[in-house]
């Protein structure tokens, strides 16, 4: 092979020299290669140029910091402007970001350039030492420990040891007990919502009671129970369970008989809270009567008792039994028959 | 030059200060060991630095944000400088985040730096961890540091989740709701845990202040401790290095801390900070003012967690909705419970890998030379397969975005992910191992036959050949410096007395795995000196 290989290089070049040098082990470690000087190491003018570059970067950083302070003072906090390609942005925010960024970046770039071009780049080898201690140290440590343990009487005085363990085991119980008031017990809180017999369905946007004619065929409306106000302290807690979704489907299209009976003339009221992990389901496809949860894409068929037809939800959306009262308003006939929202162990 | 060590010269002012400090802190001992400590150089070694620096940036900006943020769920009606929100009910947490964004000059910038740095922090940790994994830098003596790093990644995700939940906007509130639903899905204790964490029914008044103390105190406190321990161990073990001329398992070759690494690493902090700041100034993320305040009965489409939670989101989305009512009358929501369990299994598989490998090889020696990923094909394949597993989950987590951007059916994407979760990792494993073996073969050919020079030569009888150029000694050494384990032997079926030897199941599995790792299918034997000599001495070259 050697004779066929680039004779000129094999004979004279550095590669050729080492390739034939060692007949013992051709793969032997040749040791650290000699240091190759950089341009800056041999040419003072080149070094000066690096120096000027670094100094320039540091100077830009200073200017940028001054620019930061000037921007802070000069631009009003609410001034917006169109900046290509970012769109409409706050000028103050953009300028602060750019100036501070440049001020920081140039310090870094200067320091790195300095290190790479002007500081020594001679590689140095340091020895490593075993992490493990030598046998003598190890023996000393074990002897010390043994002596310490014996002097403590820990192994001998079993009564002391066991009572200490007992005390240390019991003590954390106080800490656990202290956590008790983090929250109330679940009890039956998850089984009730604000809905109840005779509560009218209130349009969530207009806050007016809903009539059947407000719900047109193919539409989706959101309702909350009568009596709940947006500035109530517990509005969020209540709406998290009571949120209601109303659809009107042609009665002939409703496959689930019970579901049809629980509604009024094709108006069905389902819990809006997904039975998977509790997002509000809200993407309604009126042709198929499917409703999709935008969080994890559980899909429910509202024409078939809101059964799950795809996705990770485990059971149908609970339906609220409604009717029209004497005044012509939609009204609940009771609370939900089953807990709304994500399922849980005690749900049954 | 000589004056610096001349003891007759009176001590300079700086030296006096140093002497004062040494008399009280003993700094000279530390400085002697560390001031000229050698660090090897490789681009991949800066990944860990990005983690460290972005963590510092997060702490700095985070402290600033606490000066203005009010972690309270008290309700108010907004009346401030952001017009579109006037008159809207919201919590103080959301309102104060609006104030930081619109009233505090520079507040938005700091908020954006904080969020961007958090995303980059976790990304850098993930990539840093990949570097350590694929180069085998987790081997003895660094297994514990691997675990510290792993915990930092997990805690980083927790800090991230609790952090982006704080503004109480419509998106983050959805994440908090998800967490509550997921906790409720735990058998037996779910409802109790949920009630305790949220201080009652969802959403309650407590979860934001509680997340706040977790986010600003508990988690970063632990992380700071782990980080310091991580760095102490890096110093103590000394950094790994790649094989090369003059680089052995017993030395560390590179440049000294003072001045080169001080300047490079210190400068790199400013580079990272500068880049993050410019991004934060130019590219807005998490514009909470667009999303609006959280309400449990409202949601936006395309709801996505921050990227590092995407894989957990994917598992939740891909899981079929299995829910059983068991004979005791209790409900088990497998749709939530199984993903919750697997979310634990996936990280643990990678966290415990170093211990698995050391059990497999039985190697008790220290390793300071980093492996090239190709030289341990099975490990590399396992790592890439693991990544593909996480990636499948991430596709599942963004199934709605994949669907809307690529005009695909969301159901098909979900089914693809459900199947891919099981099928893709083995395929990726197989492909990766083939690629590694191919690369090993190429290295072997390079060592034995030299590199292709691109020079075509015509022989007297008319045949064309490409001239191969022999490698330099340095390169030959580098390409053959790695060790190759031999597979474990199963041992004879009977011992010397003819009694049937019993081999435990564990031992049989170990033998089998070892064969897989280090047998013929697992690695290409590196060229030996004999082979090299045979090839170089013979003229039968083609």
- What's the pLDDT at B539? 53
- What's the pLDDT at A141? 97
Name the residue among A277, A320, A274 with its Cα closest to residue A299: A274
Task: Indicate the residue among B253, B268, B301 that finishes a domain.
Answer: B301
Q: B247: which strand partners?
A: B244
Q: B77: which strand partners?
A: B89
**Do residues A23 and A67 share a domain?**
no
Q: B212: which strand partners?
A: none
Taking contacts as CB-CB distances below 8 angstroms, the residues of chain A near B453 are: 6
Q: What's the predicted TM-score (pTM) here?
A: 0.92
Residues A296, A273: Cα–Cα separation, whole Å: 13
What φ, ψ does residue A282 adopt, rounded to 5°? -155, -5
- What's the pLDDT at A266? 93
**Do residues B233 and B153 share a domain?**
yes
Q: Does A18 touch chain B (CB under 8 A)?
A: yes
Task: Indicate the residue among B301, B319, B335 that finishes a domain.
Answer: B301
**Do residues B19 and B92 share a domain?**
no
Ranges of beta strands (E only) in chain A are 80-83, 87-90, 124-127, 201-203, 220-225, 244-248, 267-271, 283-285, 290-292, 299-301, 307-310, 319-320, 322-324, 330-332
Q: A248: which strand partners?
A: A267
**Do residues A1 and A84 share a domain?**
no
Q: Does the pLDDT value for residue A166 go beyond 70?
A: yes
Does some domain include residue B353? no
**Is residue A147 helix, strand or coil?**
helix
SS (H, E, C) B365-429: CCCCEECCHHHCHHHHHHHHHHHHHHHHHHHHHCHHHHHHHHCCCHHHHHHHHHHHHHHHHHHHH
CB interface of A with B, residues 95-114, below 8 Å: 95-98, 100-112, 114
Q: Which residue of A has its CA nearest to B174?
A: A279
User: Based on the structure, what is the number of domains in chain B?
Assistant: 3
Contact present, B239 and A228 (Cβ < 8 Å): no
Residues B315, B310: Cα–Cα separation, whole Å: 9
Q: Which residue of B has its CA nearest to A243?
A: B297
Interchain proximity A102–B278, CB inside 8 Å: yes
Q: A250-285, pLDDT tens digit by residue? A: 999 999 999 999 999 999 999 999 999 999 998 899
**Do residues B34 and B70 share a domain?**
no
Question: Do the strands B369-370 and B241-242 form a parallel or antiparallel pair, or are they unpaired?
Answer: parallel
Strand arrangement of the beta sheet that strand B251-256 belongs to: A124-127, B251-256, B38-39
| DSSP designation for A215 | S
Strand arrangement of the beta sheet that strand A244-248 belongs to: A201-203, A220-225, A244-248, A267-271, A319-320
CB interface of A with B, residues 304-323, below 8 Å: 308, 310-315
Does some domain include residue B530? yes
**Do residues B24 and B147 share a domain?**
no
Residues A51, A241: Cα–Cα separation, whole Å: 68
Residues B208, B176: Cα–Cα separation, whole Å: 9
Does some domain include residue B395? no
> How far from the centroid of its chain's Cα atoms is residue A19's Cα?
55
Distance from CA of B310 to the nearest CA of A (A): 12
| DSSP designation for B359 | H
State the CATH number of the domain containing residue B120.
1.20.810.10
Does some domain include residue B32? yes
- Residue B402: half-sphere exposure toward Cβ, Cα within 13 Å: 19
Does some domain include residue A126? no
**pLDDT of chain B, 542 residues: tens digit per residue:** 444 455 567 889 999 999 999 999 999 999 998 999 999 999 999 999 999 999 999 999 999 999 999 999 999 999 999 999 999 999 999 999 999 999 999 999 999 999 999 999 999 999 999 999 999 999 999 999 999 999 999 999 999 999 999 999 999 999 999 999 999 999 999 999 999 999 999 999 999 999 999 999 999 999 999 999 999 999 999 999 999 999 999 999 999 999 999 999 999 999 999 999 999 999 999 999 999 999 999 988 878 889 999 999 999 999 999 999 999 999 999 989 999 899 988 899 999 999 999 999 999 999 999 999 999 999 999 999 999 999 999 999 999 999 999 999 999 999 999 999 999 999 999 999 999 999 999 999 999 999 988 999 999 999 998 888 989 999 999 999 999 999 988 777 777 777 777 778 898 899 999 999 999 889 999 999 889 988 887 654 44
Contact present, A19 and B473 (Cβ < 8 Å): yes
CB interface of A with B, residues 285-304, below 8 Å: 294-298
Question: Do the strands A330-332 and B38-39 form a parallel or antiparallel pair, or are they unpaired?
Answer: unpaired
Does some domain include residue A202? yes
- What's the pLDDT at B533? 87
**Do residues B25 and B78 share a domain?**
no
Q: Which residue of B has its CA nearest to A89?
A: B282
User: Based on the structure, what is the number of domains in chain A?
Assistant: 3
> Which of A10, A29, A220 is the best substitution to test chain B (most B C-beta atoms within 10 A)?
A29
Dig out the tokens for A215 from the structure: 């719900």
**Do residues A58 and A11 share a domain?**
no
Q: Does the pLDDT value for residue A21 go beyond 60?
A: no
> Which of B141, B316, B321 is the best substitution to test chain A (most A C-beta atoms within 10 A)?
B321
**Do residues B17 and B161 share a domain?**
no
- What's the pLDDT at A138? 96
CB interface of A with B, residues 159-178, below 8 Å: none
Taking contacts as CB-CB distances below 8 angstroms, the residues of chain A near B245 are: 29-33
Q: Does the pLDDT value for residue A158 go beyond 90?
A: yes
Query: How large is the average pLDDT for residues A41-55?
Result: 96
Question: Do the strands B75-77 and B323-325 form a parallel or antiparallel pair, or are they unpaired?
Answer: unpaired
> How far from the centroid of its chain's Cα atoms is residue B130's Cα?
6
Residues B266, B274: Cα–Cα separation, whole Å: 13
**Do residues A46 and A27 share a domain?**
no
Residues A299, A306: Cα–Cα separation, whole Å: 9
Does some domain include residue B225? yes
Task: Indicate the residue among B301, B316, B332 that finishes a domain.
Answer: B301
- What's the pLDDT at B8? 65
Dig out the tokens for B527 from the structure: 């060229």
Q: A96-115, pLDDT tens digit by residue? A: 999 999 999 999 999 999 99
**What interface predicted TM-score (ipTM) does this complex get?**
0.91
**Do residues B120 and B206 share a domain?**
yes
**Do residues B224 and B196 share a domain?**
yes
Q: Distance of CA B533 to CAs A2, B449, B542, Å? A: 11, 11, 16
> Which of B82, B320, B335 is the best substitution to test chain A (most A C-beta atoms within 10 A)?
B335
Domain boundaries, position B96: 41-301
**Do residues B26 and B110 share a domain?**
no
**Do residues B84 and B224 share a domain?**
yes
**Do residues A200 and A316 share a domain?**
yes
Does some domain include residue B308? no
Q: Distance of CA B167 to CAs B72, B212, B345, Å? A: 10, 10, 31
Taking contacts as CB-CB distances below 8 angstroms, the residues of chain B near A312 are: 316-321, 335-336
Q: Which residue of A has its CA nearest to B540?
A: A1
Q: Distance of CA A165 to CAs A60, A162, A168, B338, Å? A: 65, 5, 5, 37
**Do residues A298 and A328 share a domain?**
yes
Taking contacts as CB-CB distances below 8 angstroms, the residues of chain B near A120 are: 255, 260
> How far from the centroid of its chain's Cα atoms is residue B55's Cα?
14
Q: Which residue of A has its CA nearest to B200?
A: A183
Q: Which residue of B has its CA nearest to A296?
A: B317
Contact present, A340 and A271 (Cβ < 8 Å): yes
**Do residues B89 and B225 share a domain?**
yes
**Do residues A206 and A330 share a domain?**
yes
Sign of CA dihedral B261, B263, B266, B271: negative
Does some domain include residue A75? yes
* % of chain A surpassing 90 pLDDT: 83
Interchain proximity A308–B264, CB inside 8 Å: no
- Which of A2, A108, A297 minimises the CB distance to B270? A108
- What's the pLDDT at A23? 57
Q: Which residue of A has its CA nearest to B256?
A: A124
**Do residues A64 and A16 share a domain?**
no
CB interface of A with B, residues 26-45, below 8 Å: 26-33
**Is residue A82 helix, strand or coil?**
strand
Name the residue among B169, B170, B191 with its Cα closest to residue B180: B191
Does some domain include residue B374? no
pLDDT band at A348 (very low <50, low <70, confident <90, very high): confident
**Do residues A27 and A90 share a domain?**
no
Domain boundaries, position A252: 194-347
Q: What is the DSSP string of A271-322?
A: ESB-TTT-PBP-EEETTTTEEE-TTT--EEEGGGTTEEEESS--SPPPEE-E
Does some domain include residue A123? no
Interchain proximity B190–A3, CB inside 8 Å: no
Interchain proximity B303–A16, CB inside 8 Å: no
Interchain proximity B477–A28, CB inside 8 Å: yes
**Is residue A27 helix, strand or coil?**
coil
Q: A188-234, pLDDT tens digit by residue? A: 999 999 999 999 999 998 999 999 999 999 888 999 999 999 888 89
Residues A265, A283: Cα–Cα separation, whole Å: 23
State the CATH number of the domain containing residue A266.
2.102.10.10
Does some domain include residue A284? yes
Q: Distance of CA B240 to CAs A133, B226, B355, B402, Å? A: 20, 20, 19, 40
> Which of A314, A315, A318 is the best substitution to test chain B (most B C-beta atoms within 10 A)?
A314
**Do residues B112 and B21 share a domain?**
no
Ranges of beta strands (E only) in A115-225 are 124-127, 201-203, 220-225
Taking contacts as CB-CB distances below 8 angstroms, the residues of chain A near B320 are: 312
User: Does an H or E element contain B270, and which?
Assistant: helix B262-282
Does some domain include residue A188? no
Interchain proximity A348–B192, CB inside 8 Å: no
Residue with tokens 């009910």: B89
Dig out the tokens for A218 from the structure: 């193919």
**Do residues A91 and A110 share a domain?**
yes
Does some domain include residue A90? yes
Does some domain include residue A319? yes
> Which of B184, B312, B316, B370 is the best substitution to test chain A (most A C-beta atoms within 10 A)?
B184
**Do residues A20 and A59 share a domain?**
no
Interchain proximity A314–B321, CB inside 8 Å: yes
User: Does an H or E element contain A171, and which?
Assistant: helix A158-178
Distance from CA of A199 to the nearest CA of B (A): 19
Q: A276-316, pLDDT tens digit by residue? A: 999 999 889 989 999 999 999 999 999 999 999 999 999 99
Burial code (b: 16+ CB inside 10 Å, e: under 16) for B389-408 equals bbbbbbbbbbbbebbeeeee
- Which of A15, A105, A109 minimises the CB distance to B470? A15
**Is residue A117 helix, strand or coil?**
helix
Dig out the tokens for B276 from the structure: 């993050």
**Do residues A329 and A200 share a domain?**
yes
Does some domain include residue B366? no
């Amino acid at each position: 092979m050697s004779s066929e290989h680039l004779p000129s290089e094999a004979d004279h070049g550095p590669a050729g020299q080492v390739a034939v040098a060692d007949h013992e082990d051709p793969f032997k470690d040749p040791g650290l290669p000699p240091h190759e000087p950089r341009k800056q190491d041999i040419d003072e003018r080149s070094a000066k140029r690096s120096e000027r570059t670094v100094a320039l970067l540091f100077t830009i950083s200073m200017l940028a910091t001054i620019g930061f302070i000037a921007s802070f003072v000069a631009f009003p906090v609410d001034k917006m402007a169109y900046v290509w390609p970012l769109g409409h942005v706050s000028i103050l925010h953009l300028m602060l970001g750019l100036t501070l960024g440049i001020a920081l970046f140039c310090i870094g770039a200067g320091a790195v350039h300095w290190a790479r071009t002007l500081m020594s780049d001679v590689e140095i080898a340091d020895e490593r030492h075993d992490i493990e201690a030598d046998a003598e140290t190890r023996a000393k440590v074990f002897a010390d420990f043994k002596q310490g343990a014996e002097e403590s009487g820990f192994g001998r005085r079993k009564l002391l040891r066991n009572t200490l363990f007992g005390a240390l085991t019991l003590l954390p119980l106080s800490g656990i007990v202290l956590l008790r008031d983090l929250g109330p017990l679940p009890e039956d809180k998850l089984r009730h919502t604000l809905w109840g017999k005779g509560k009218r369905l209130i349009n969530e946007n207009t806050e007016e009671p809903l009539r059947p004619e407000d719900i047109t065929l193919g539409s989706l409306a959101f309702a909350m129970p009568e009596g709940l106000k947006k500035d109530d302290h517990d509005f969020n807690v209540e709406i998290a369970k009571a949120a209601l979704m109303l659809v009107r489907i042609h009665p002939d299209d409703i496959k689930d008989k019970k579901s049809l009976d629980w509604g009024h003339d094709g108006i069905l009221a389902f819990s809006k809270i997904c039975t998977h992990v509790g997002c509000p389901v809200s993407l309604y496809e009126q042709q198929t009567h499917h409703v999709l949860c935008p969080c994890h894409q559980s899909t429910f068929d509202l024409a078939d008792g809101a059964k799950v037809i795809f996705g990770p939800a485990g059971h149908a959306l609970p339906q609220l039994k409604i009717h029209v009262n004497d005044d012509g308003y939609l009204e609940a006939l009771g609370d939900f028959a089953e807990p709304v929202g994500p399922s849980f162990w005690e749900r049954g | 030059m000589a004056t610096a060590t001349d003891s007759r010269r009176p001590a300079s002012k700086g030296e006096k200060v140093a002497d004062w400090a040494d008399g009280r802190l003993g700094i000279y001992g530390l400085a002697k060991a560390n001031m000229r400590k050698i660090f090897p150089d490789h681009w991949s070694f800066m990944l860990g630095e990005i983690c460290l620096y972005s963590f510092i940036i997060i702490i700095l900006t985070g402290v600033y944000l606490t000066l203005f943020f009010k972690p309270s769920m008290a309700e108010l009606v907004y009346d401030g400088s952001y017009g579109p929100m006037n008159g809207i009910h919201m919590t103080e947490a959301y309102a104060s985040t609006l104030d930081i964004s619109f009233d505090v000059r520079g507040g938005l910038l700091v908020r954006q730096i904080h969020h961007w740095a958090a995303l980059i922090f976790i990304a850098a940790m993930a990539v840093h961890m990949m570097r350590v994994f694929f180069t085998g830098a987790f081997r003895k003596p660094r297994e514990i540091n691997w675990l510290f790093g792993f915990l930092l990644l997990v805690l980083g995700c927790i800090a991230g989740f609790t952090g982006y939940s704080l503004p109480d906007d419509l998106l983050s509130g959805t994440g908090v709701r998800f967490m509550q639903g997921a906790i409720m899905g735990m058998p037996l204790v779910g409802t109790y845990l949920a009630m305790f964490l949220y201080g009652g029914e969802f959403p309650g008044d407590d979860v934001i202040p509680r997340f706040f103390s977790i986010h600003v105190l508990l988690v970063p406190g632990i992380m700071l401790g782990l980080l310091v321990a991580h760095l102490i161990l890096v110093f103590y073990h000394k950094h790994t290095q790649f094989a090369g001329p003059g680089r052995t398992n017993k030395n560390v070759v590179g440049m000294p801390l003072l001045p080169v690494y001080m300047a490079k690493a210190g400068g790199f902090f400013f580079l990272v900070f500068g880049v993050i700041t410019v991004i934060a100034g130019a590219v807005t993320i998490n514009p909470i003012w667009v999303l609006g305040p959280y309400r449990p009965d409202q949601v936006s489409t395309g709801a996505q967690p921050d990227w590092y939670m995407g894989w957990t989101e994917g598992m939740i989305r891909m899981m079929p909705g299995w829910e059983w009512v068991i004979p005791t009358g209790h409900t088990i929501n497998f749709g939530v419970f199984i993903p919750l369990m697997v979310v634990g299994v996936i990280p643990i598989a990678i966290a415990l890998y170093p211990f698995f490998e050391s059990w497999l090889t039985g190697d008790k020696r220290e390793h300071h030379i980093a492996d090239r990923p190709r030289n341990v094909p099975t490990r590399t394949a396992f790592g890439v397969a693991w990544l593909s597993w996480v990636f499948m989950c991430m596709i599942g987590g963004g199934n709605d975005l994949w669907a809307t951007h690529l005009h695909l059916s969301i159901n098909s994407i979900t089914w693809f992910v459900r199947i891919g979760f099981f099928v893709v990792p083995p395929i990726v494993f197989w492909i990766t191992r083939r690629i590694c073996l191919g690369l090993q073969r190429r290295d072997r050919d390079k060592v034995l036959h030299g590199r292709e020079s691109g020079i075509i030569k015509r022989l007297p009888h008319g045949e064309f050949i490409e001239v191969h150029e022999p490698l330099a000694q340095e390169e030959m050494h580098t390409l053959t410096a790695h060790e190759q384990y031999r597979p474990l032997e199963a041992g004879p079926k009977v011992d010397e007395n003819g009694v049937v030897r019993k081999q435990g199941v564990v031992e049989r599995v170990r033998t089998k795995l070892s064969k897989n790792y280090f047998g013929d299918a697992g690695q290409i034997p590196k060229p030996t000196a004999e082979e090299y000599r045979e090839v170089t001495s013979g003229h039968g070259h083609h």
